[in-house]
Amino acid sequence: MPQSPRPPSPCIQVCRLTACGTLCEGCGRTVNEIAGWSRMSETEREAVWQRLSYQANSDAT
């Protein structure tokens, strides 16, 4: 059975930290999420994507 592709990075090439220095203004990931992305499992990456989707939906309301 073929392996499913790993979720792509949410990076949009706008790499700046927020004033508090904890989140990327471009993709919304934490510094630890950015640094560890290449070592994360598919499940961990999906969890990051879920959090980012939830934040985007919360910000839109």
pLDDT at 4: 60
What pLDDT, in 10s, does the model give residues 1-38? 555 666 789 999 999 999 999 999 999 999 999 999 99
Q: Is residue 31 part of a domain?
A: yes
Q: Is residue 9 part of a domain?
A: no
Q: Is the residue at 8 inside a domain? A: no
Indicate the number of domains in the chain.
1
Q: Is residue 44 part of a domain?
A: yes
Residue/partner pairs of 26-34 with CB below 8 Å, 24 or more apart: 27/52, 28/52, 28/55, 28/56
- The answer to whether position 47 is within a domain reads yes
Asked, for residue 45, whether it belongs to a domain, the answer is yes
User: For the stretch 18-47, what's the b/e string if a residue is b when 16 or more beta carbons lie within 10 angstroms of its beta carbon?
Assistant: eeeeebbeebbbeeebbeebeeeeeeebee
Is the residue at 23 inside a domain? yes
Q: Which domain holds residue 54?
A: 15-61
